[in-house]
Chains A and B, each alone.
Chain A
Amino acid sequence: MPDIYTSDWYEAVRDSINVKVAEMQGVPEGTWHVAIDIVGDGRSPYVNQGAERNFVVRIEDGRCAWYREVDGADPGVRLDFRFRGPAEEFDRIAAGLLDPIDAALRGTIKARGDMRFLMRQAEHVQVLLEAYTDGVETLWPDGRPPYDGESA
């Protein structure tokens, strides 16, 4: 059982995605790069306040090819989508406490990129999200959300 946001954890997420996608029909062909910006909010113990952790995920023909933690400004690839929000929100999603669609609808996690494509691939996107939210048993070495109002 991997610790949250470690390479092991992401690999587990990736595997879980790919298992699910393997069962799907009509996944979109092509390659996409998705940025995930997790912004320290003073509540999550996994990202320092004011700091950010930036990840890039590469999707190839619906499957997750790799993910990388990158150094802020230059992801080294041309991005197609970006999801950005406070760390606690991402933590809660990973812990299965918050529905990512809800987070997007409330605007706490901002989505950028070709929304039309995301809408058209709704079923596939749902699978990716599910893998992220409950595909992996996650360990929370510094405490798990909800953070009950205490500051980290």
Chain B
Amino acid sequence: MKQVCDVVIIGAGHNGLTLGAYLARSGLDVVVLERRHEEGGGLCTEELTRPGFLHNVHANYHTFVDMAPAITDLEVRENGVEYVRPEVQMASIFDDGTALTIHTDLDKTCESMARFSETDAETFRRLHTEAHGFVDLLLGTLMYQPPMSVKELTRALAAFGVEERTEFLSVRLRRETINQFLDQHFTNDRIKAHLAFHGAVCGYTNDVAGLAIGFPLLIGKIDNWHLCLGGSHRLAHALWRDLAHHGGTLISDAEVASIQVEDGRAVGVRLTTGEEISARRAVASTVDVEQTLLEFVDPTDLSPELRTRVANDVVHKDWSLFSVHAAMSELPEYTAAEFDPDVNRAWVVNLGYASTDDLDDDWRLIRKGGLPDPRPNAAVNSLYDPTDAPDGCYTGLLRQFAPYDLHGGGAGQWEGMGRWYAQRCLDVWRRHAPNLEANTFIDWAPFTPLDISRKLVNMVRGDWMMGEISLDNLLDQRPLPELGEYRTPIDRLYLAGSTQHPHGFITFGPGYNALQIMADDLDIDPWWRVI
């Protein structure tokens, strides 16, 4: 194994690979170390049920396609990724057999909404059109730049007089919940439920104060959900290919145990196997802050105050995801297709949340460790990806919001409950799509919040966003104000994973933004900024 390089990157999730590929393209000798046998982290596709059924174990929806600079800078498509943007992006199916559909075609979305409320459909059109207009600006300002403080943002928005120009970018949103935003602008419960559900799937819980500020951005890309043909892991391969093609090296099965620090400066890492790799220029960690600063760094190299802060004050998401992966012999045919035939072609289907109260009730329960009556969302990628299942078969996915720690016995209780809860989720699906008889499921496999943390140890407590999404844990406050700029108190040790601004999800943001800081510190010519 290589023993010396310029930059060591810990973790080969999409952020580690992105940062690595940019640095390799900048001529640096980069080594990316990955604990698992496969790179990609959340970009994980496995044959969990039967051969030929490709299940996206974690990330399924790629919502920043053609928005993240990395997609073009790193030639993701030339490196083999093919994206499909399903025409019918999403649906909500309600118990009375009605349904709402979100399309790539705005007119169709508005038509579907108008069946519930014409004024809401008009409001949505206005909001969506405005959000589409400023989405680029928001991305450039809020996603693909090192973070600003809320104070700075507020000041700038006031200086530009943005508030008078669009009701959707008001500075007061920074105190409001998505629920409040919805109540101010929409009337129909189901439309509100769908929009709130959509936010939740993106990690933005609708009852958390301050998140209304991010809502216009979410709406601006509500119809930008892409499917990665052949499984999300294909993106990991493409990023890896770019890294390797530019001379970088990915080493799998390489679990970092410690970061070596000399005279206050990070100079390399040691693996759990005792192997060492030194880094001439820098070390960047894309894993959780707890591992990086409490486990990798020797206590003598960090102030006790910061150690205590990391141990006590880093906040994780207060809900996680339970999944059921299914190998199927039929596509779901929903009863609600009588009302809106497009639901049968919808990629992501909300089965049951009919009001924001429904969601709020579940959040309350989940935060206490309770297991909600399943209201899963269903996605059958094979509708749009014929390569993800054997001929005549389909790969299905159910996701359910769920707690990590279960009331009474903690996360360990998931051990015996996965199959039972999965069965309940499947029952809900079958109730809405009666053609899914038991024998249409060739096989299925549960994947619990506990499994998430076991597979990706950096997703502490099932935290798939690697840090709570709330205003006091976003922007420069994430993961702690003193660590909000990708730098650490140790010289040349950077944080470049989803613990940092903007947050988790397949955004490419943390890796890209850490790159900006590292470029400044390490004097790297920022070729990617050529505009």
Contact = CB atoms under 8 A, between A and B. Distances in A.
| Residue of B132, B165, B169 with most chain A CB atoms under a 10 A cut-off | B165
A119 B156 contact: yes
B148 A122 contact: no
Contacts of B155: 122
Given A102-B165, A122-B156, A111 B133 contact: no
A24 to B, nearest CB: 13
Contacts of B104: none
Contacts of B152: 119-120
Nearest to B129: A106
A126 interface: yes
B203 interface: no
Contacts of A123: 159
A77 B22 CA distance: 23
Interface string A93-133: 00000010110111110111111100110110110000000
B165 A107 contact: no
Nearest to B161: A101
Nearest to B160: A101
Range of interface residues on chain B? 20 to 34
Given A101-B165, A105-B166, A119 B153 contact: yes
Range of interface residues on chain A? 20 to 34
B47 to A, nearest CB: 42
B193 interface: no
B137 A122 contact: no
A107 B136 contact: yes
Given A79-B531, A119-B153, A126 B135 contact: no
Contacts of A105: 130, 133-134, 137, 162, 165-166, 169
Contacts of B160: 101, 122, 125-126
Interface stretch (B30-38, B139-147, B304-312): B139-147
Contacts of B156: 119-120, 122
| Residue of B140, B148, B152, B160 with most chain A CB atoms under a 10 A cut-off | B160
A114 B161 CA distance: 20
A113 B159 contact: no
A63 to B, nearest CB: 20
Given A105-B165, A107-B132, A120-B152, A112 B137 contact: no
Contact of A114 (B133, B137, B145, B159): B145
Contacts of A102: 165
A114 B526 CA distance: 12
Interface string A64-98: 00000000000000111110000000000000000
B1 interface: no
Nearest to A82: B531
Contacts of B140: 111-113, 115
Nearest to B143: A115
Nearest to B139: A115
Contacts of B130: 105-106
Interface in B85-134: 130, 132-134
Contacts of B162: 101, 105
A119 B141 contact: yes
A108 B165 CA distance: 15
Interface string A21-49: 00000000000000100000000000000
| Residue of A78, A80, A101, A119 with most chain B CB atoms under a 10 A cut-off | A119
B462 to A, nearest CB: 32
Interface string B150-184: 00110110011110011001000000000000000
Contacts of A104: 134, 137
B70 to A, nearest CB: 16
A123 B134 CA distance: 20
Given A113-B531, A125-B160, 13 more contacts: A79-B531, A101-B161, A102-B165, A104-B137, A105-B162, A106-B130, A106-B134, A107-B136, A110-B136, A115-B145, A116-B141, A122-B156, A122-B160
8 contacts: A82-B531, A101-B162, A105-B166, A107-B132, A107-B133, A107-B134, A112-B531, A119-B156
Which 3 residue pairs are nearest across A and B when measured between Cβ atoms? A122-B159, A107-B133, A119-B156
Interface of A: 35, 78-82, 99, 101-102, 104-108, 110-116, 119-120, 122-123, 125-126
